[in-house]
Structure 1
Amino acid sequence: MGCDTICDLPDSLLTQILLNLPTKDSVKTSVLSTRWRNLWLSVPGLDIATYEFDFGEIFERFMDRFMEFNHGSRLQNFRIWHQMIMYGTIHNLTLMELIGKVVDRGLQHLDVTLNFCDRDGFRNDFMRHNIYKSKTLVSLKLAVVVLKKPEFVVSLPCLKILHLRSVCYDYDGPLIVEKLISGCPVLEDLELIRPFHIYDEKDVMFLRVSSQTLKICSLRFVNNRGVADFTVEIDAPRLEYLSLSESDSDRIVVKNLNSLLMVNIGTKYSFDYGSPLQPQDLRKRDLFYDFLTGISSVRHMILCQFTLEVLYSYSKVEPIPKLHNLYHLQLEFFCSSLQLELAFLESCPNLKILSLLGSYDSKELWKIDCTNVPRCLISTLEYVEIKEWKMKDETGIIKFVNYFLENSAVLKKLTLSFKNLSITKQELESYKKLLTPTKLSPTCEVIID
């Protein structure tokens, strides 16, 4: 019955279904029946890896047949993973010409990964005029592709998604990225994963991310310790989501982020691990203050332990700016002290949801100052989630959870889940009995998973 139902579908719908499969799986359907023999050739896209072909010539013949069969038709997707082949290679120029032809077919989504180190061979071939000036590309994702600074105006009027990973190996890498961004008037999603490879300690790097339409921005940079200066400036008035990870830049400057809803910060902000912010370091203090005030409109924030330690060091120098709009805070760490979180909670007067992921140092739990109760616990905090707890110390767990139950006046639910621990139902019930009497909020529900 299932086969008959599928066979009743029109070819146009079947090819759209096959579009969601890797091309090698789409080709396998040709053995099902006479009707399916050439159906894969009509799929409006390709998802291929060149290493699946024994010889470069076989790959070229395969592509020639597909392109000839689809002569004059528009393609939606083209995803290719290319690396050196054992028994034969695909010439760089051949591959670039192929990608150019595919783009000329009115391609909407291009995803290219080059898994080899022949950077010089691609330096002048990739991103030809037709790719830089495509009127149909909606999504462009490039990985390990060496880009050269275009000597003409970039024009990608329909591009909404731009993802770049390891694409620049020259000093003018930031200028290349800026020129690409400036040529995308409707860009909404930008992801930069280690886009620049920096070899000289004397390099001065400055990247400007400026867009009037950008909504999502994810930045992950290589560790840049030793570089003379590395500055990232973000100017995006419609930005809603910002992610910064592995970013040891000297300066992160943000402007016009009034629409920011969510921020995920997994960076040390150029402070070495274990090296606290010094009171006399006015430059770093001012830069960090400007960054925090620049994201002050955020409603949902995710912080890693490294960032939390920087915030804690900053709080000892001067108060952290208030985040009045923040209602959901997620803290992710591997082993932390509650004192770090409490210092930051002081700047979240209207917090409603607190999510904690990780474990705590049991020795530090006994140092908790129970008289230090942030304002949000007293007036606004409604939900506390403690996930993947790994500590086996029963007394420590109870002391930690009780801190929130005893000091949260409007708490509605507290959820505690364990990771890699075998706990019986009887033990769960005993935990609940020990915790329930301590609740300041009589209607608070305690859930132990």
Structure 2
Amino acid sequence: MDEDAESRVSSTLSYDRRGHLDWLRKLPDSLLCQVFLNLPTKDVVKTSVLSSTWGNIWRSVPGLDLGYGDFPEYNAFVSFVDSFLGFNSESRLQNFKLNYQYLRLKYEWKWTELDNANVTRWINTVIKRKVEHLHVLDGSNPESVSLPCVKVMYLDMVKFANDLAFEMLISGCPVLESLTIKRSACDNVDYLRVCSQSLLSFTLVGHCNEDMVKEQVVAIDAPRLEDLKLYCHETASFIIKNPASLVKMDIDIMFNLSSEQKFDPNDLPKRNMIRNFLLGISGVKEMEISSHTLEVIYNYSRCERLPVFRNLSSLHADFDDYRWEMLPGFSKTPGEEPISILPGPQCNLPALEFVDILKPMVEKETELKLMSYFLEKSTILKKLTLRLGDFRGNEESALLKKLLTIPRLSSSCQVVVL
């Protein structure tokens, strides 16, 4: 036992001699196991000296957090992991964290296929035991990945060897349903390809490195994908294949444009990419869109026709500086042809049921036009909710009178003022 463990034991024993309640020892084993689950396994094992009833409780903890550095030599490391997985072999594991990166660095010259087989065997074992959180750090570049039971994956600042290494990881998860990626600026992936026949939900969070000059691409080929969230300003190109199942979208993207690098109408490849992206998502029913994305699309709409989102029933759009005009402005070009992201001024909104405008109104003409746009064109609109800003005297009542004069296409529409 090391000095720290001895001092902790001594402190506990002296506490008992003073007659204080040893409440920790009186906790039920099930609760103790949950407490110990938050400790490294080496510290959990040390607790066996604190109480005669804790001798083997570490074997019942539903998780392992272990590193090769905790052992004097390799065989002891392998033996301990095997023994732990042999205890309560039918029970479910919550966590399995294994770090043998130092081991590979130390013994790289004699690392064998047998050693790889040990790690593969351990991973397969914990997957069969329906592990909830799997963390393996080995510092290697595997030739293949097989995670046949993984349905949910969260990759936080993960660095890959190259584009292919990321593709191999995703292809090795045949039943993956939910994927979240929080990117690092140095993840070594320039062409991020997400190809999955089982994926239902995908969230991508960019690294927000303004100094990044690479033309990064994100390609998504997931025919069952229903929910897509993209928060990624630095990615230059988005490619969406097989989007027929897409229902919900939340997008905050700029296609690597910025206040310094504006949308260039003469950049035909960029225009083609944005056109194909919008066509790919035009079948969604629910969409949230940031002011950054809205402005890029607005600038694009001044030179090309936008697709109509005919299935859209819920739209949440953020506007900077009360720039309401960007949304109804989609319905016009200099030639007055309707090119709206929503059906244009000559068309109704056949699917829109609810509108909630979060920013308070301040009686601008563009705000009233927006209210008119929704009320006059929404066939089945059930509820429009708006908020009022600070008004003086009779200004508020005057605005409400103007709102009441706006015709409503939907006879059941309710206007709620907060």
SS in structure 2 of the partner of residue 178 of structure 1: helix
The AA in structure 1 aligned to 2:69 is L
Cα distance in 2 for residues equivalent to 1:335 and 1:374: 28
Residue of structure 1 in register with 2:148 after alignment: 157
Deviations 1:113-157 (A, max 9, x none): 99xxxxx869969x9535654434464476xx9774542432221
Is the Cα–Cα contact under 8 Å of residues 139 and 160 in structure 1 kept in the other structure?
A: no
Pairing 1:276-315 to 2, within 5 Å after superposition: 276-315=262-301
Shift of 1:60: 5.7
Aligned match of 2:23 in 18, 31, 36? 31
SS in structure 2 of the partner of residue 438 of structure 1: coil
Is the Cα–Cα contact under 8 Å of residues 303 and 331 in structure 1 kept in the other structure?
A: yes
The AA in structure 2 aligned to 1:31 is W
Q: 1:396 to 1:141 in 2, by over 3 A?
A: farther
Cα distance in 1 for residues equivalent to 2:300 and 2:260: 13
Cα distance in 2 for residues equivalent to 1:60 and 1:103: 15
After superposing the two structures, state which structure 1 stretch, 258-267 or 428-437, moved more. Answer: 428-437
Asked if 1:417 corresponds to 2:387, the answer is yes
Is the Cα–Cα contact under 8 Å of residues 326 and 348 in structure 1 kept in the other structure?
A: no
Aligned match of 2:128 in 128, 135, 144? 135
SS in structure 1 of the partner of residue 302 of structure 2: helix
- Calculate the TM-score normalised by the size of structure 2: 0.70
Is the Cα–Cα contact under 8 Å of residues 157 and 186 in structure 1 kept in the other structure?
A: yes
Residue of structure 2 in register with 1:181 after alignment: 170
Q: 1:147 to 1:286 in 2, by over 3 A?
A: farther
Aligned match of 2:38 in 40, 48, 52? 48
Cα distance in 2 for residues equivalent to 1:432 and 1:69: 69
Shift of 1:226: 3.6
SS in structure 1 of the partner of residue 283 of structure 2: coil
Cα distance in 1 for residues equivalent to 2:345 and 2:248: 26
SS in structure 2 of the partner of residue 229 of structure 1: coil
Unaligned 5+ residue runs, structure 2?
1-20, 107-117, 332-338
Shift of 1:231: 1.5
Aligned match of 2:357 in 386, 411, 427? 386
Is the Cα–Cα contact under 8 Å of residues 48 and 55 in structure 2 kept in the other structure?
A: yes
Residue of structure 1 in register with 2:313 after alignment: 327
Residue of structure 2 in register with 1:249 after alignment: 235
SS in structure 2 of the partner of residue 329 of structure 1: strand
Identity %: 27
Shift of 1:271: 1.5
Cα distance in 1 for residues equivalent to 2:326 and 2:407: 23
Residue of structure 2 in register with 1:94 after alignment: 70
Is the Cα–Cα contact under 8 Å of residues 74 and 107 in structure 1 kept in the other structure?
A: no
Shift of 1:320: 1.2
Asked if 1:191 corresponds to 2:180, the answer is yes
Unaligned 5+ residue runs, structure 1?
1-28, 51-55, 81-89, 115-119, 351-371
Over aligned residue pairs, what C-alpha RMSD do you find? 4.4
Shift of 1:414: 1.6
Residue of structure 2 in register with 1:273 after alignment: 259
Shift of 1:215: 0.4
Residue of structure 2 in register with 1:209 after alignment: 194
SS in structure 1 of the partner of residue 357 of structure 2: strand
Cα distance in 2 for residues equivalent to 1:246 and 1:323: 22
Cα distance in 2 for residues equivalent to 1:131 and 1:220: 31
Cα distance in 2 for residues equivalent to 1:192 and 1:48: 25
Is the Cα–Cα contact under 8 Å of residues 244 and 265 in structure 1 kept in the other structure?
A: yes
Deviations 1:343-368 (A, max 9, x none): 44654456xxxxxxxxxxxxxxxxxx
Cα distance in 1 for residues equivalent to 2:236 and 2:43: 49
After superposing the two structures, state which structure 1 stretch, 256-265 or 273-282, moved more. Answer: 273-282
Shift of 1:288: 1.2
Shift of 1:191: 0.4
Cα distance in 1 for residues equivalent to 2:48 and 2:226: 40
Is the Cα–Cα contact under 8 Å of residues 436 and 446 in structure 1 kept in the other structure?
A: no
Is the Cα–Cα contact under 8 Å of residues 384 and 415 in structure 2 kept in the other structure?
A: yes
Deviations 1:364-384 (A, max 9, x none): xxxxxxxx836235x554432
Deviations 1:56-103 (A, max 9, x none): 9756624999893253x583x77x8xxxxxxxxx97733997996777
Asked if 1:218 corresponds to 2:219, the answer is no
Q: 1:109 to 1:254 in 2, by over 3 A?
A: farther
Deviations 1:177-231 (A, max 9, x none): 3222122111100000024525xxxx77122111110001001121355433312
Cα distance in 2 for residues equivalent to 1:177 and 1:39: 39
Cα distance in 1 for residues equivalent to 2:273 and 2:36: 47
Q: 1:409 to 1:272 in 2, by over 3 A?
A: closer
Residue of structure 2 in register with 1:353 after alignment: none
| Number of residue pairs aligned between Structure 1 and Structure 2 | 363
Deviations 1:220-274 (A, max 9, x none): 1213554333121111111111111024112211111211111111111111236
Cα distance in 2 for residues equivalent to 1:230 and 1:305: 22
The AA in structure 2 aligned to 1:445 is Q
Asked if 1:446 corresponds to 2:415, the answer is yes
SS in structure 2 of the partner of residue 280 of structure 1: coil
Cα distance in 1 for residues equivalent to 2:98 and 2:305: 46
SS in structure 1 of the partner of residue 176 of structure 2: coil
Is the Cα–Cα contact under 8 Å of residues 218 and 243 in structure 1 kept in the other structure?
A: yes
SS in structure 1 of the partner of residue 348 of structure 2: helix
Q: 1:400 to 1:155 in 2, by over 3 A?
A: same
SS in structure 2 of the partner of residue 335 of structure 1: helix
Is the Cα–Cα contact under 8 Å of residues 182 and 211 in structure 1 kept in the other structure?
A: yes
Is the Cα–Cα contact under 8 Å of residues 314 and 352 in structure 2 kept in the other structure?
A: no
Asked if 1:259 corresponds to 2:245, the answer is yes
Larger Rg: 2
Residue of structure 1 in register with 2:158 after alignment: 167
The AA in structure 2 aligned to 1:205 is D
